Structure formats: C-alpha cells, structure tokens
Structure 1
C-alpha cells in the first residue's frame, strides 16, 4: 500500500475521500439557499450536514 504524498495518508483512503468530495459537490449543485457543514476527524471527512432554507412569500 503506497502513500498519497500530498496528504501523507495511505492510498486505500482515496475511495472514501472521492466519495466525500462527490457528496459535497452534489450538495453544492442541488442547494439554492442554505449551508453545508463538513465535519473532519483526524484529517478525514466523517460527516456532511446539508441545511436547505426555504422562504415563502406573503
């Protein structure tokens, strides 16, 4: 198992990173108003919270 020198982590972590980045990208594309919070533990994405705001006219 080699190391990804840009982060110093095993290459085996790459699929999880790719999955997290894809989820973030998808959230950004779908979200019109709101926020995205990414939780990191020990340099790894472990949670993604997407909050959508919906406003209704009077």
Structure 2
C-alpha cells in the first residue's frame, strides 16, 4: 500500500480542484507516491461557418 502523508493528500486535492476537464495521474514506486501529473483539457464549442 502507498505511503500517504498530509502534504501528498493536499497536493492531490489541489490538483483535483483546479481541473475542469482532464486527468490526474498518481505514480507509485516501491509503495510510495512519487509523482503527480495533471493534464488540463480545453474544450471549444463547435461553430458553424457564417454564410455570405
């Protein structure tokens, strides 16, 4: 089981609060959380071309 301390938990919570669309990846090595990656997705609405 991964070793979890309060600092790591707070960083995970912060990453989750900041993101609207995307992913948060937690990397574990030898039973300890070693890395936290956050990927934000930007979504754009599809617009129709204006006919002249």
Q: TM-score, normalised by structure 1?
A: 0.66
Alpha-carbon distance in structure 1 between the residues aligned to 2:6 and 2:29: 16
Aligned structure 1 segments of 4 or more residues deviating by more than 2 angstroms:
none
**If each structure's helix is expressed as a fraction of its own residues, which one has the higher value?**
1
Alpha-carbon distance in structure 1 between the residues aligned to 2:9 and 2:30: 17
Structure 2's unaligned 5+ residue stretches are 48-52
Larger radius of gyration: 2
Offset of 1:53 from its aligned partner?
A: 0.4
Q: TM-score, normalised by structure 2?
A: 0.73
Structure 1's unaligned 5+ residue stretches are 1-6, 8-12
The CA deviation string for residues 19-46 of structure 1, in whole angstroms up to 9 with x for no partner, is 1111100011111110000000111110
1:1-58 pair list within 5 angstroms: 17-57=5-45, 58=47
Alpha-carbon distance in structure 2 between the residues aligned to 1:53 and 1:46: 23
